Amino acid sequence: MSAVRDHLSAAKVYRVLAVLFLIAAPHLPRLPLWASALVIAMGIWRALAAQRTWPMPGALLRNLLAGLALVGIWTQYQTLNGHHAGVALLVVMLAMKLTEMTTRRDYLVVIYLSYFLLITHFLFSQEMIMLLLMFAGALAITSVLIEVNHPQGILPLKRNLRLSGTLMLQAVPLMLIFFVLFPRIPGPLWGIPTDAGAGMTGLSDSMEPGMISELGMSDAVAFRVRFDAEAPPRSELYWRGPVFEYFNGRSWLPGPGSDLPMREQIEFEGPPTVYEMQLEPHGKRWLLALDLPRGPLPEGTSMGRDLVLRHKWDVIDKKLYRLASGTRYNVDSEASERYRQHLLSLPQASNPQTREMVLSWKAQDDAPQAIIATALQHFADQPFHYTLRPPLLMNQHSIDQFVFETRRGFCEHYASAFTFMMRAAGIPARVVTGYQGAERNGDYYIVRQSDAHAWSEVWLDGRGWVRIDPTAAVAPERVELGLGGALPAGEPIPGLARLSRGTLVQLQLRWDQVNAAWNRWVLAYGPELQQNLMAALGMSGLRALLIALTVLTLSSLLIVNLLVARAHQSELERDPVQRIWRRFLGKLKRAGLAPQPSEGPIDLSQRIARQAPKLAGDAERISQLYVRLRYASRQTDPALLKRFRQRVRAFPSRAG
Amino acid sequence: MDKPARPPHNRALTHSLPSRMSDRIASILTSASEIILGKPDVLKLSLSCLLAQGHLLIEDVPGVGKTTLAQTLAHLLGLQYRRIQFTSDLLPADIGGVSVFDKDSGQFRFQPGPVFCQVLLADEINRASPKTQSALLEAMEEGQVTSDGETRKLPQPFFVIATQNPLDQIGTFALPESQLDRFLMRLSLGYPSHQAEKELLLGQSRRELLLQQGNVLSDGDVLDLQSQVGGITASPALIDYILALVNASRSHARVALGLSPRSGLALKRAAQAWALIDGRKAVVPEDVQAVFPHVAGHRLQLNSGDDSGVATLIKELLADVAIP
């Protein structure tokens, strides 16, 4: 097979390779090892082909490799769809394309594909830092594009960057228009498949001992919140997340039908607390809310029987929503007999010691209030410890083991044990998970994964659901001061939960402020906000949006066109000879002697002599003057120019 | 406004040359066209190639008057003419000359080869081996011949007309692109028109006719004209046009190898010579258009690798590229 000839200079090839590597590099760790190796090998082959004029792979080898890569990706991901497989396919095929990059056309294909590859980074991260990287990437690709197209070949780096920077800046208005107006599709984008939620941290849809204490080690932001008025006191900041109503002896799980529509009537005391939530994606449906949300719910959300706010779809991108909550409430509803039974159910014969103890309390005083008080007193009096590193509960009766043996636990241990006790005493109860507390940062509050918490809710006749936090009985500091204040000395505390702050932490908090603004103003701009904006501008619905988009696109094209025409115009105005000549050509056109763009002045005057002999003399003289002015001299002779202008002005002369 | 008396078809648009010289150029072309019938363009292009100090490649079938063209030019310009028939066993020494031992003086004496002339017809250049071809090309490029370690200047002016037969495929060595580039222009004579051929058959032998005409110029005059070519003005506006053509050839989809900067220089020089023959002091776009097909034709390479589309492509380029 004959080697493909390489018409491109080595310097250009290196630049394309460098830019491409820059753009593909963040993807490489995500690819299977063989694919990364193939990509790098293809790049090296192309570089050697340019440097040492090695032959590039022939068509047979190329096709074979491409086929194998396709099969490889299919085997790896079981699909070619989805953003992991799709990006892998794109990166690998782009690398293969390098080895057939010989003509200008191939070059352009590679460059345009690079732009596309650049966008795919957004599928994996939408942080602000990524935006900066994308700008740098786009700048680099544009500079290579300029190199390929510029008639002068490779420009000095500074000039090139200035040119590509100008091009990028010119695109910014268009970018802003599209950002605001491009229709946002409600719900998960069809292109984002189920694996999008993988690897997100957050509360889980079941609760086992040890689960929340794991979260407690994480500094990651769970959500940010901005109160319209004063924030409620810290001890009231219970952020409601998933609720668990079914206990299988080890784990707490959601009850059947807990997401059925809420029927409870809730009465709130005091003025509502209004706030704006910026929720980080966690891959599940629930939306965190200050216990309990009241008033109009955000679009696309509903409250279930467990009083949890849920979105229509899994939360896989950042969500911005406004809510009003009341921290003092009275749930006025009569739980149906069946529902109540369900909230009392416990696995048979589990944790007999705890049951026995609870029954002995009940024998003393069977008023629910008294049982609750006894249980909390029990946690407070007995040597229970609050710790992020509880011993493992391996026993079949894990609650017995915790209550009577280890007595060291994190909030989920206490919530689980307390809820179990309540049910054993015949009081309907459930476990609520969520977050407790918040950390002030400027004008908003951060809630981190380390603020994850679990507590109990008991049903009291006449009062409805009442929140009981058994952790507060063991370690009241947890609620007053947060995790850092509640853990015993010597335990490792996640950096940002500590009470004392270093410079590094301050910097991190500053950076979080920047990110919060980015989330609030850019990322959270979704379908709801877009619709609100459009409605405020007097347009509603997708149709109006499309009309607006079309009008704006057309008008910006028109503006660009006018600008280009003006730039062209000004070039003509700099050269009076050309301006006058164009006027002459315009007159000829009106006389039906339209000149061709490739027709020179002498040919033109000869054609006029043939087609319109009457004009021949004038046209001849004008052409002569034009040739003398434009082609025969380097400096314009003013007298000659004057004559030229007069002749053209007088053309066509009746006298001639 | 103006006196309508002036003659409308005066081609000498700008300052004219010393009329003696321009008359004589005109008379060369007139005399030559009495011998080479019906090919005024080829004559004018050949002359401008010579004046631009370039060399000419003629690609044509045998018997259309290549030899006559070379002889005519040489005779009218008062130049010394030689011809080499290239064959596959021709050696470099057969062109440049060889040192032979002189018994009388007991020394080697250089016997100059046929290349020591002023107009050289290299007939069927592609029949010779690459080694021999390159010996000729060195002479064309350097204007000198090196033999036995001694460099000898060729007479001035030195003009090569090489021919190659396009139909020949067996036993030929095609000139590589880099060597084609040494020729300023490539022309093809083509069959004469019906009228011209009839006249040819009715008339005298061309060679006899030629002998009846005297020399119009001397080699000194030719050198003088050659030195004037560089003085013909090529304004920035005209250079823009040349650049536009060259760039258009580079970015054209069907072109594999566009015109090099050297091609741009060749184009400028050929157009200057053409303007000189037309009696102008400055180059106009029409001059560029006149020489462009013959300067660019053998320098362009299409993606298809096939030469037949070049003429169409050149027409397209000339029609599409606007004069700036």
Q: Would an 8 Å CB–CB cutoff place A655 in contact with chain B? A: yes
Chosen CATH of B230-324 out of 3.90.1170.50, 2.60.40.2300, 1.10.8.80, 1.10.1200.10: 1.10.8.80
Domains of chain B: which residue ranges? 14-219, 230-324
Q: Provide the token pair at B270.
A: 């050929």
What mean pLDDT comes out for the span A133-151?
A: 86
CB-closest option in A598, A609, A620 to B322: A598
- Given a cut of 80, whether residue B170 has pLDDT beyond it is no
Higher pLDDT, A226 or B16: A226
For the cut 90, the answer to whether the pLDDT of residue A114 exceeds it is yes
Comparing C-alpha atoms, which of A27, A19, A16 is closest to residue A122? A27
Kindly tell me if the per-residue pLDDT of A522 is higher than 80.
Answer: no
Q: Report the pLDDT value the prediction gives residue B14, as an integer from 0 to 100.
A: 41
The reported pLDDT for the residue numbered B1 is: 36
Q: Confirm whether the ipTM is greater than 0.85.
A: no
d(CA A390, CA A385): 9
B65: left (phi over 0), alpha (psi -120 to 50) or beta: left
**Per-residue pLDDT tens digits for A458-500:** 888 877 888 899 888 888 877 777 776 667 666 666 656 555 5
Cβ separation of A627 and B233 shorter than 8 Å?
A: no
Query: Which pLDDT belongs to residue A141?
Result: 92
Q: Write out chain A residues lying below 8 Å of B6, CB-based.
A: 617
Check whether B3 has a pLDDT greater than 80: no
What is the arithmetic mean of pLDDT over B115-133?
Answer: 87
Q: What would the mean pLDDT of B73-87 be, rounded to a whole number?
A: 87
pLDDT value at residue A270: 82
B167: which residues sit within 8 A by CB, 6+ positions away?
A: B61
pLDDT over 70 (residue A2): no
Residue B267 pLDDT greater than 90, yes or no: yes
Show the tokens assigned to B167.
């139909």
Residues in chain B: 324
Q: Return the higher-pLDDT residue of A323 and A505.
A: A323
pLDDT of A574 higher than 80? no
pLDDT tens readout for residues A119-133: 888 888 777 788 888
Rounded to whole angstroms, the Cα distance separating A316 from A196 reads 7
What digits encode the pLDDT tens for the residues A411-462? 888 899 999 999 998 888 999 999 988 888 888 898 988 888 899 998 888 7
pLDDT, tens only, A43-72: 998 888 888 877 888 888 888 989 999 999
- pLDDT value, residue A543: 73
| Token duo for residue B317 | 């380029």
Closest in A597, A602, A653 to B1, CB measured: A653
Residue A540 — pLDDT band, cuts 50, 70, 90? low
Least trusted range by pLDDT, from A186-200, B34-48, B132-146: A186-200
The pLDDT value recorded for residue B269 is 93
Asked if A597 is an interface residue toward chain B (Cβ–Cβ < 8 A), one would say yes
Please choose, from the candidates A161, A20, A182, A16, the residue with its C-alpha nearest in 3D space to the C-alpha of residue A102: A16
- The residue of chain A with its CA nearest to that of B245 is A598
CATH topology assigned to domain B14-219: Rossmann fold (3.40.50)
pLDDT at A298 over 50: yes
| Cβ(B114)–Cβ(B136) below 8 Å | no
| pLDDT score, position A151 | 66
Q: For residue B243, list chain A residues with Cβ-Cβ distance below 8 A.
A: 151
The percent of residues above 70 in pLDDT, for chain B, comes to: 92
Which chain A residue's Cα is nearest to B257? A7
CA-based nearest residue in chain A for residue B287: A600
- Residues B41-69: b if buried by 16+ CB within 10 A, e if exposed: ebbbbbbbbbbbbbbbbbbbeeebbbbbb
- Whole-angstrom CA distances from B173 to A19, A30, A619, B87 are 44, 56, 52, 11
- Mean pLDDT, all residues of chain A: 82
Q: Would you tell me which residues 255-274 of chain B have a C-beta closer than 8 angstroms to some C-beta of chain A?
A: 256-257
Kindly state whether B236 is in contact with chain A, defined as any CB-CB distance less than 8 angstroms: yes
Searching chain A, which residue's CA lies closest to the CA of residue B11?
A602
In this structure, what token pair is assigned to residue A70? 């396709």
pLDDT value, residue A283: 80
- pLDDT in the model for residue A12: 81
For A631, the closest chain B residue by CA position comes to: B235
Sign of CA dihedral A55, A61, A67, A71: negative
Mean pLDDT over B48-66 rounds to 87
- Chain A environment of B238 (Cβ under 8 Å): 631
Task: Collect all residues of chain B within an 8 Å Cβ-Cβ radius of residue A601.
Answer: 284-286
Tell whether the model's pLDDT for residue A8 goes beyond 70: no
In A, which residues are within 8 Å of B260 by CB distance?
none
Cβ atoms within 10 Å of A158's Cβ, excluding its own = 8
The dihedral over CA atoms of A38, A44, A46, A49, expressed in degrees to the nearest 10, equals: -130
The rounded distance, in Å, linking the Cα atoms of B201 and B182 is 36
Sign of the four-CA dihedral B306, B308, B311, B312: negative
Does residue B314 contact residue B292 with C-beta atoms inside 8 Å? yes
Using the predicted structure, report yes or no on whether residue B12 has a pLDDT greater than 80: no
Percent of chain B with pLDDT over 90: 12
Q: At A353, which amino acid appears?
A: Q
Contacts 24+ apart (CB under 8 A), A477-481: A478/A386, A478/A411, A478/A436, A478/A453, A479/A234, A479/A235, A479/A436, A479/A437, A480/A234, A480/A235
Q: Which of A181-190, B156-165, B195-204, B255-264 has the lowest mean pLDDT?
A: A181-190
| Alpha carbon distance A122, A522 (integer Å) | 13
Residue A152 is predicted with a pLDDT of 64
Task: With H, G, I as helix, E, B as strand and everything else as coil, classify residue A261.
Answer: strand
Task: Note the pLDDT of residue A194.
Answer: 44
pLDDT at site A142:
92
Q: Which has more confidence, A235 or B2?
A: A235
What's residue B80's pLDDT?
Answer: 87
Q: pLDDT at position A496, please?
A: 60
Q: Is the pLDDT of residue A622 over 80?
A: yes
pLDDT confidence of residue B288 = 92
Q: Is residue B275 pLDDT above 50, yes or no?
A: yes
More confident residue, A447 or B22: A447
Ranked by mean pLDDT, the top range of A346-355, B91-100, B112-121, B264-273 is B264-273
pLDDT at A113 (0 to 100): 92
* Burial of B96 per CB tally in 10 Å (0-12, 13-18, 19+): buried
Over 80: is that where the pLDDT of B238 sits? Answer: yes
pLDDT the model gives residue A112: 92
CB nearest A631 (choices: B237, B243, B321): B237
Q: Which chain B residues contact residue A104 at CB under 8 A?
A: 251
Which residues of A are annotated as catalytic?
A: 411, 453, 469
Lowest-confidence range among A17-21, A259-263, A487-491?
A487-491
Average of per-residue pLDDT values in chain B:
82
B2 with A656: Cβ contact below 8 A: yes
Say whether B237 and A620 touch across the interface (CB within 8 A). no
- Does A105 sit within 8 Å of B6, measured CB to CB? no
Please give the pLDDT value at position B94: 85
Chain A within 8 Å of B5 (Cβ-Cβ)?
A: no
Residue A237 reports pLDDT greater than 60:
yes
Q: Cα(A542)–Cα(B154) distance, rounded to whole angstroms? A: 83
Query: What integer pLDDT is reported at residue A318 of this predicted model?
Result: 77
pLDDT at A411: 86
Which of A598, A616, A623 comes nearest B323 by C-beta? A598
